[in-house]
Amino acid sequence: MSVFWLTLGVLLLAASALLLIAGWRSRNASAGDRDTLNKAFYHQRLQELEQDEAQGVVAERPEMVRELQQTLLTDIPLSNQAPVRSISRWVLLPGVLAIFIVSLGLYFKVGGLPQLMVWQQVKNDLPALRGRVMDPNGKPLTMEELARLGLGIRSELQNDPHNINDWMMLGRIGMVLNNATTASQAFQHALQLAPNDPAIKLSYAEVLTRSSDPQDNREAELMLQQMLQADKNDLQVLALLAFNAFQQQQYDRAITLWQQMLPLLPAGDRRIERVQRSIEQAKTDSGTQSSKLALTVSLSAEAEKMLHEGGVLYISVSDGVSPVPVAVKKLPLSHFPLSLTLDDSNAMMPERLLSAQHQVQVRVRISRDGTANPQPGDWRGESAVTPYDGHQHLAVEINQQVESAK
């Protein structure tokens, strides 16, 4: 950084010196210079006339000499002409200041000085950011801090391009920041340095499976198949293969791979539920899912008397534990009793499907003003928590009124 500013200062001083020297010389050029040139021209012309007369080319040499003398006298300034005054170099000081102001102003405007200062600060903060990432008990980095860490690691890799650990860290940062280009390029560099490292292969394959480019997906498939031949029970490889197949809408293959994972997972492992939900999602997307919940909704006599026209019927299905619904349905009011069916197409979130639940609870509410949140005066009803195997039929009576908050 100091070398840069030193170089900039030397260049500005050199430009200023050139301006001063050129300006001083031009201002102090004397009128005698012109006289000297005229005399030199006069003598040269006399010599040419002598040569021409000797060769017989010119016959009126005296007359031409008089004309040359008259021309010389005309160009010589009068003796009483005021002498040219020398101008001080300090008159050029505004020009020197202009050079400094314009040059520095343009640099501060378009030279990226703020970015340069941020980059310098990132380099200074890099050790502390590395320490927080490596410390399992340290404070997690924010997305902005992760971006700064990535910039710092990029700078370090310029000086040490063979650092595999830094390439791996940069790739993981790119994945967290959802920057596929950074992640892919980083893992590619790491793989070139260690082509047989399974961890690098797995990370690179994961990036390729997330890509929207079919060519990347096919490349990931080949890599993962090679890794699976080395270890057919590698859960990470199986999971990526299943996800890659699901992304390419190869639902049968994805289901087969997920089912292959289930016996390999320890009892009570949380991944079992996720894999089961993934299987159900694949079945739903492929159109082979037959899990449905049949529902009959009726009104109590009191609720029927107070039924408002223009109301909206809200139906939600939960797992009986979490208040977040698994499936929801919104309908305009019609004749009761009402029969309907819910399935995975009514899911709130793709990762929480109705078909993946082992028990369900249904809540029904009539909203008088159509709002999703319960309001005082709305009528509601709910079922008990019931085991669910994908073919249940439940009946719910709307028989309670939402009371005002006290």
CA distance 393 to 387: 11
Q: Whats the size of the chain, residue-wise? A: 406
Cα 11 to chain centroid distance, Å, stands at: 37
Cβ neighbourhood burial of 317 (10 Å; 0-12, 13-18, 19+) = buried
Is residue 240's pLDDT more than 90?
yes
**327 contacts 348 by C-beta, under 8 angstroms:** yes
Domain boundary assignment for the chain: 2-26+37-72+88-110, 134-286, 293-401
Residue in 229, 357, 339, 198 with CA at minimum distance from that of residue 289:
357
Considering only the top CATH level, what class is 134-286? Answer: mainly alpha
Is residue 85's pLDDT more than 60?
no
Domains 134-286 and 293-401 share a fold: no
337 prior amide bond cis, ω within 30: yes
In angstroms, the first-to-last Cα distance of the chain is: 67
Question: 293-401 — its CATH code?
Answer: 2.60.40
pLDDT digits (tens, 9 = 90+) for 365-384: 998 877 888 888 888 999 99
Share of the chain above pLDDT 70, in %: 71
**372 contacts 314 by C-beta, under 8 angstroms:** yes
pLDDT digits (tens, 9 = 90+) for 181-230: 899 999 999 999 999 899 999 999 999 998 888 899 999 999 999 999 98
CA distance 225 to 238: 9
Task: For residues 268-272, give the mean pLDDT.
Answer: 87
pLDDT of residue 292: 85
Confidence class for position 406, pLDDT limits 50, 70, 90: very low
Cα 43 to chain centroid distance, Å, stands at: 79
Share of the chain above pLDDT 90, in %: 28
Average pLDDT, the chain: 79
Is residue 313's pLDDT more than 80?
yes
Sign of the alpha-carbon torsion through 386, 387, 390, 392: negative
